Structure formats: C-alpha cells, structure tokens
Amino acid sequence: MSYVFKYIVIGDSGVGKSCLLLQFTEKRFEPMHDLTIGVEFGARMVNVQGKNVKLQIWDTAGQESFRSITRSYYRGASGALLVYDVTRRETFEHLQSWLEDARANTNTTLMIMLIGNKSDLDSKRQVSKEDGQSFADKHGLVFMETSAKSAENVDEAFLRTASIIYDNVQKGVIDPSVVSGKHPAGANGSANRVSPGNLSEGNNNNNENPSGCPC
C-alpha cells in the first residue's frame, strides 16, 4: 500500500512557515519570501520505517483575514505543524487560538507538532524552550525547535511527524483510507503557490522578523 500524508502548516504570519516548507522540499532558504496569501503547496517523498510515503504539505496564510480560506485545507489532514517565532512572544501567545481552530476543523485524528522556529536567533529570543515544551505537554503535542535558515531540525520535524502518523495508521488510530493516496491534492515536487495572489513583504517588518523571513 502506498501512503500519502497530508500536512498543514499553521501559525501567525511571519513565523517562517513558508521558509520551513521551502527548506524541507527544496533545501534552500529564501530570506525575502513573499507573504503567503491563501495557501502554498509542496511535496516530498520520504522513507518512513521502510515505506515510501509522499508528504503533501499545505502552507497556510497566517493573517486573520484569510482564516476562513485556509480552514478548508484542514480537511483530510493527518498532520499539522503549529509554528511560532521564538523571537516574537505574541506569536506564542496566539497558539491557543490556532490549536483550537485546527482541532475544530479536522475530521481525522490530527497529529500536531509544535514548532518554535528561528532558533538561530537565540540572542533575540522572547520564548524559552521550556515555555514551548510546557505548552506542548499541556496540550498533548510533540515539540521541537527549528531554524529554517540553518535547516536545524527541519527534516527531523517533518519526518518525526510522519513516523508518528505511520504508527497511528498501523495501530488503527487513523483510518488507512485517509492516507491511501486516493484523494490527490496538488502536484509533485517543490513548493508551488496556489493562492489568489501575493503581497511582497521583502522590505517590511525587518525589525519584527530579524531572520529576514516574513513568510
């Protein structure tokens, strides 16, 4: 049986969601990434416990005005990366709202990985690793800090999520039909924009996003 795991990447605008997707699918960092409007899509084949698994990853817009659009992409997701920026405390404080949204709009047993991104900017840190772990423990999430810029833990975050999803399929926690690959969603390969448009933020919010990634 072939497997397709659908991921959604959620969190506030500017936390680095698109940069994580790009680093995972194309092994590169784009410091002046456009702000995501709607969703972006990427895919990559990986090996999970000896099985070939296609990860289909939907990177959602973080702006409140697009929440109603991105909610439709939760359907059929078996994994989610809930991302905040360790250098911006407010993005951590908004996690509860994102988590409630995800759990209210998914119709499968969603495996959620909490990601504290931009760990390379330790001198600008506003959220401790202990705070991230505490939130994850409280809400039953798996936690990891990453850097889309240096690629630290990026592969590990996606692959660990995939391994837990695979285990849940084998245990019968997740219906195998959900990950059977019979519900195609987009194209193969690298990240592609499937949103209504884009708004360049290359010269904006550099103080709020010191890594240079507004995505």
Assigned domain for 205 exists: no
- Within a domain: residue 184? no
What's the CATH code of the domain at 125? Answer: 3.40.50.300
In a domain, 45, yes or no: yes
Max distance between CA atoms of the chain, in angstroms, equals 48
> How buried is residue 126: exposed, middle or buried, by Cβ count under 10 Å (0-12/13-18/19+)?
middle
C-beta separation of 117 from 146 below 8 A:
yes
- pLDDT tens per residue across all 215 residues of the chain: 689 999 999 999 899 999 999 999 999 988 765 555 556 889 999 999 999 999 999 987 655 545 566 667 788 899 999 999 999 999 999 999 999 989 988 866 899 999 999 999 999 999 999 999 999 999 999 999 999 999 999 999 999 999 999 999 999 888 888 888 765 444 344 455 444 443 333 333 334 454 456 55
Domain count, the chain: 1
Say if 195 falls within a structural domain: no
Residue 37 placed within a domain: yes
- d(Cα 166, Cα 4) in Å, to the nearest integer? 10
Model pTM? 0.81
Q: Does 215 fall in a domain?
A: no
Residue 188 lies in a domain: no
Q: Which domain does 125 fall in, by range?
A: 3-173
